[in-house]
Amino acid sequence: MPRSSPRAPLRFSTQTLLLQLGVVLLVVLLSAAVHAWLTYDRVGREAENQALTLARTVASDPSVRADVLDISQQAGTPPAAELAAGPLMASAEAARTRTGALFVVITDETGLRLAHPDPQRLGERVSTDPSEALSGREVTTRNTGTLGPSAGAKVPVYAPGGSTVVGEVSVGYSMETVGQTVARDIGPVALTAMGALLAGVLGSFLLRRRLQRLTLGLEPEEISTLVHDQVAVLQGVDDGVIGVSADGRITVFNAAAQRLLELAGLAGTRWEDAPVPDQLKALTRPGSGATKAVELVAGGRVLVANARKALHRSEDLGWVVMLRDRTELQQLTRQLDAVGTMSTALRAQRHEFANQLHTIAGFMSIGQHQQAREYLARLAATGPLKFPVDQAELLQDPYLQAFVGAKGVEADERGVALRVGPETLVRGQVTDAQDVTTVLGNLIDNAVNAAVAGSAAERWVEVEVMDEPHDDGGTLHVVVADSGDGLAEGTDAEAVFAEGFTTASGPVRAGGGQGFGLALARQLARRRGGDVRLLDPGSRGGPGAVFMATLPGTTMGIRNPGHPEKGHTDAALKDVAGKEKDA
């Protein structure tokens, strides 16, 4: 049996036409359905309001109020036959017949029917809850009772001349009548919907013809093949790619470059006028040695960039600038170093703690209880840290304790004493460890390097940390000073924050990450609305430079009435530079 040939897929223009027709049909149907529902709801509300008006009229009739009061005062409920022939039944049926309501029901104060369209239901409790009306509130309802679905209202009946509720009047209009009203109104809606559908069909056919003209009859697959390779190369890599044409305009600026530089919409911009770092522009200038990789800080990231000339045979096509992110690698290296240092310190603490426990156990075993208490008191007075950091107990935040302690171990290995300044006061808890690690770590590392390279006999680094509580997150103020020789005379205060600036002796190793700590710390602080600035450049022979960082939103404020508030912090910050110089 011969196999049937597969059916050819529908052309894109045909698929678009069918999709548009489906969308038009769906929109028309939804619009008609919403209009019908709104009409149904409006008519229902009108029925509720009409029922409420009728119920108020019946409930305010003096004869009805007097008759309901008389029956309520009787012991028990009159027989159904007596109620059917009574005045309440006559009044209710007259109102129902006159207004076309589905029912007009009158009850006593317990919810027993005194008037009902069905005489057999007299004396029975109503099928819907009458408690709200009997408590003195008027309500409108939509529910299903013994006579079918209805939209109605319940109104309390008060005793003549008083405010005591003696019964309630319930009036309802049939929802089936409401549905019939909506059905009469739906005709114009259906005609409008059909007209909209025909207009949509005509518009879809016209759009199909225009689409075929614009695409020259090509299918989308055929068009996408022309640019598929370029998009796959530019957008499928994590490296940033910037293409600069021979006439100096940006022709390619892929998503990775936008993310790394935090810039967008630069395609077509002149390369020399683009808001990119000058180091990138320098790579494309004649005689720049563009194949050499350079490091720069941009958008709070440490980037490695290089540029290559693009040539096709002998034709100059421009430049291709490549960007690679190494921020996470540097941060991971810093964190691993800190973790290793802390692990070593904690192992030493464990042995020391074991020795202390043995000492206490020895005192107890020989009955020297007083000696044991004194020994414990001395241990408690030394604070929770055993890191080589003077006045470490001033740091109440566990994260700052651990981080500064680890840095103290590193500094101690290099012959530098790390200490915490006496003005340190942190009343909150650190909430953004990532930024605090980067900024505080860079400042301490630079200070330790300066202290090691300095000419002072005593090498030290002092850190003062203060926080300023706010409702939306406290601001952390960090001041770092050292015993180094300070900045060279004539050094601009802003030049130290430029990418690549370093005071290290000897040449800077390419790709080594030197000369970017202060620049990265300032960018991170300014991104949060804070800053890193130079308070004092220092002097030859020490003390060295003093830096201060302000990091808003990095602590969770815990106000303590026992501590000074903002005024203390402001005053302390003003005196820090002078105190560090005196040290």
pLDDT in tens, 472-525: 778 889 999 998 888 887 777 787 887 666 655 433 333 344 566 788 788 888
> What does DSSP assign to residue 102?
S
Tokens read off for 229: 């390779």
What's the confidence (pLDDT) of residue 325?
80
102 in Cβ contact with 172 (< 8 Å):
yes
Confidence bin at 463 (pLDDT 50/70/90): very high
Q: What is the DSSP string of 242-273?
A: EEE-TTSBEEEE-HHHHHHHT----TTSBGGG
> What does DSSP assign to residue 563?
S
Nearest to 539 by CA among 496, 465, 489, 576: 489
Q: Output phi, psi for 39, to 5 deg.
A: -65, -45
Query: ∠ CA 154-155-157 to the nearest 5 degrees?
Result: 135
What's the confidence (pLDDT) of residue 216?
58
Three-state DSSP at 134 gives helix
Instruction: For residue 498, give every residue at least 6 positions away whose Cβ sits within 8 Å of its Cβ, in sequence order, or none.
Output: 519
Q: What's the mean pLDDT when you consider all of the chain?
A: 77
Confidence bin at 6 (pLDDT 50/70/90): low
Window from 118-122, 221-225, 251-255 with minimum mean pLDDT: 221-225
Q: How far is CA 494 from the centre of its chain?
A: 35
Say yes or no to pLDDT of 577 above 80: no
Window from 36-45, 183-192, 380-389 with minimum mean pLDDT: 380-389
pTM, full prediction: 0.45
Whole-angstrom distance, CA of residue 509 vs CA of residue 268:
36
Window from 110-124, 296-310, 437-451, 562-576 with minimum mean pLDDT: 562-576
465 in Cβ contact with 400 (< 8 Å):
yes
Whole-angstrom distance, CA of residue 11 vs CA of residue 442:
61
Tokens read off for 403: 């981080």
Whole-angstrom distance, CA of residue 268 vs CA of residue 49:
65
Window from 262-276, 280-294, 414-428, 568-582 with minimum mean pLDDT: 568-582
Nearest to 547 by CA among 479, 462, 466: 479
Whole-angstrom distance, CA of residue 201 vs CA of residue 209:
13
Mean pLDDT for 289-311 is: 73
Whole-angstrom distance, CA of residue 111 vs CA of residue 124:
8
Q: Select the more confidently predicted residue: 237 or 70.
A: 70
Beta strands in 460-556 (DSSP E): 460-468, 474-482, 531-536, 546-556
Distances (CA, A) of 572 to 76, 421, 487, 501, 565: 86, 11, 24, 30, 11
Between β-strands 417-420 and 389-390, what pairing exists: parallel, antiparallel or unpaired? Answer: parallel
What's the confidence (pLDDT) of residue 509?
34
Whole-angstrom distance, CA of residue 442 vs CA of residue 532:
11
Q: What sign for the dihedral angle of Cα 101, 107, 112, 114? A: negative
Confidence bin at 64 (pLDDT 50/70/90): confident
Per-residue model confidence as pLDDT tens digits over 316-338: 778 888 888 876 666 676 667 66
How many angstroms separate the first and last alpha carbons of the chain?
101
Nearest to 13 by CA among 213, 198, 227: 213
Per-residue model confidence as pLDDT tens digits over 79-121: 888 888 888 888 888 888 888 888 888 888 888 888 888 888 8
Whole-angstrom distance, CA of residue 84 vs CA of residue 300:
88
What's the confidence (pLDDT) of residue 341?
59
What's the confidence (pLDDT) of residue 185?
66
Tokens read off for 286: 């004649």
28 in Cβ contact with 131 (< 8 Å):
no
Window from 209-218, 249-258, 331-340 with minimum mean pLDDT: 331-340
What angle in degrees, to the nearest 10, is found between the helix axes of 433-453 and 398-413? 20
561 burial level (CB within 10 Å; 0-12, 13-18, 19+): exposed
Q: How far is CA 544 from the centre of its chain?
A: 42
What's the confidence (pLDDT) of residue 464?
92
What's the confidence (pLDDT) of residue 561?
42
Question: Which amino acid type is present at position 358?
Answer: H
Per the DSSP assignment, residues forming a β-bridge with 394 are none
Per the DSSP assignment, residues forming a β-bridge with 548 are 479, 533
Confidence bin at 211 (pLDDT 50/70/90): confident
Distances (CA, A) of 95 to 14, 59, 124, 134: 63, 11, 21, 21
384 in Cβ contact with 401 (< 8 Å):
yes
Query: ∠ CA 459-391-453 to the nearest 5 degrees?
Result: 15
Whole-angstrom distance, CA of residue 26 vs CA of residue 14:
18
Say yes or no to pLDDT of 184 above 50: yes
Window from 66-80, 136-150, 177-191, 245-259 with minimum mean pLDDT: 177-191
Whole-angstrom distance, CA of residue 210 vs CA of residue 204:
10
Window from 309-318, 357-366, 477-486 with minimum mean pLDDT: 309-318
Nearest to 496 by CA among 477, 513, 519, 512: 519
